[in-house]
Amino acid sequence: METKAVKKNNKKIAVYAGSFDPVTNGHIDVINRALELFDEIIIAVGTHPEKKTLFSMKERLSMIKTATKDMKHITVDSFSGLLVDYLDKYDVKFILRGLRALSDFEAEFQSAVTNRKLNHEIDSIFVMTSAEYFFLSSSLVKEIAYLKGDVSNFVPRNVESALKKKFRSK
């Protein structure tokens, strides 16, 4: 019997959706852990009509591509609209999300339940970050970089340079 985890081509695929404004070592940690569970991960960078981002879609995609260039079984893509529609397009049944402190739980639970209501075949899989990234967020990284602090332990090297460049003139 074919389970819902296995697509026709026998590949287990998950979509890791988020703003990635910018991608952090916490995101990379989640991706690395999830690669133990899935054959392929599609990192889907979202456009949020109400969310203003520091980096453009082009910049966010390019930063993730560079940061994951040595990793296998990763695809980087953008999406807009409903995430469930995006998953449907590629016949993917799993949404990958990272969990940090307890504060993530409520919003993540709400979005997982909503997505499942929109498409009952879809399940969200949560990967717990490692302790060192437990309190790390893209917002925190932006704040530190804005105040000219050292973010080298929190983001890939190329993201650190991009943040420096972004805030140089400010």
Interface contacts to ligand ADP, rule CB under 6 A: 18-20, 24, 26-27, 30, 97-98, 100, 104, 129, 133, 136-138
Q: Is 116 a catalytic residue?
A: no
Shortest Å, Cβ 139 to ligand ADP: 8
Which residue number, 60 or 93, has a Cβ lying nearer to ligand ADP? 60
Burial of 62 (0-12, 13-18, 19+ CB in 10 A): middle
| Residue 138 among the catalytic residues | yes
Cα separations (Å) of 56 from 23, 31, 32, 36, 150? Answer: 13, 22, 25, 30, 23
| Residue entry with tokens 């899989």 | 125
Shorter beta-carbon distance to ligand ADP: residue 93 or 133: 133
Tokens, residue 15: 């979509």
Q: Cβ 140 to ligand ADP, closest distance in Å?
A: 9
The rounded radius of gyration (Å) of the Cα atoms in the chain is 16
Which is closer to ligand ADP, CB of 136 or CB of 145? 136
Active-site position among 60, 97, 124, 138: 138
Residue 67 CB, shortest distance to ligand ADP, in Å, is: 13
What is the rounded CA–CA span in Å between residue 70 and residue 128?
23
Instruction: Report d(CA 139, CA 149) in Å as an integer.
Output: 14
Closest CA to 63 of 148, 162, 145: 162
**Catalytic-residue membership of 27:** yes
Minimum gap (Å) between residue 135 Cβ and ligand ADP? 8
Q: Which of 12, 100, 116, 166 is catalytic?
A: 100
Closest to ligand ADP by CB, 97 or 142: 97
Q: Which of 27, 60, 93, 97 is catalytic?
A: 27
Contact 160, 152 (CB under 8 A): yes
Active-site residue numbers?
27, 51, 100, 138
